[in-house]
Structures are given as C-alpha cells and as structure tokens.
C-alpha cells in the first residue's frame, strides 16, 4: 500500500467499522462479544490521536532545527 499514510488507513478503517454498526444485517444479529465494535472504534481513535501527536512533534522538531 505504497503512497497511503498510516493515518489515512486508520481514518478509513474507522469509517468502515462505523458503517458495520449501521448496517441492518449487523443490527439484526444477536452478537455480544467481549470486545465490541465501539471498543474497536475507540482504539482506532486513540491510534489516530497518537499518530497526529507524533506528526505534530515531528513538524515542530523540523522547524526548530
């Protein structure tokens, strides 16, 4: 997947996973796992925040040099 940044992949994945919860076939399931799709969305949000923080720190370091 050359050319696609990790943050773009995380953002796209977050969108796709959120679409799963909205899908009528998913909503009709009696699916109750230990970890939920909301847990996955939260993990993706934390990952995106971390990537954005690292990106900001990298830019700040480049400017300071």
Write down the pLDDT at residue 23.
Answer: 95
Q: What is the pLDDT of residue 1?
A: 52
* Residue 5 phi, psi (nearest 5): -75, 160
What local confidence, expressed as pLDDT, does residue 55 receive?
86
DSSP assignment letter at 64: H
pTM: 0.77
d(CA 53, CA 56) in angstroms, rounded, equals 5
Residue 15 to residue 34: CA distance in whole angstroms: 22
Residues of the chain with pLDDT under 70: 1, 62, 64-65
Give me the residue spans of the domains in the chain. Answer: 34-65
Query: Two tokens at 3?
Result: 């050319």
Q: Where are the beta strands (DSSP E) in 1-65?
A: none
């Amino acid at each position: 997947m050359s050319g696609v940044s990790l943050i773009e992949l995380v953002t796209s994945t977050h969108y796709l996973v959120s679409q799963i919860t909205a899908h009528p076939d998913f909503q009709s399931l009696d699916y109750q796992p230990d970890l939920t799709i909301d847990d996955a969305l939260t993990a993706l949000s934390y990952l995106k925040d971390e990537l954005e923080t690292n990106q900001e720190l990298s830019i700040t370091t480049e400017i300071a040099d």
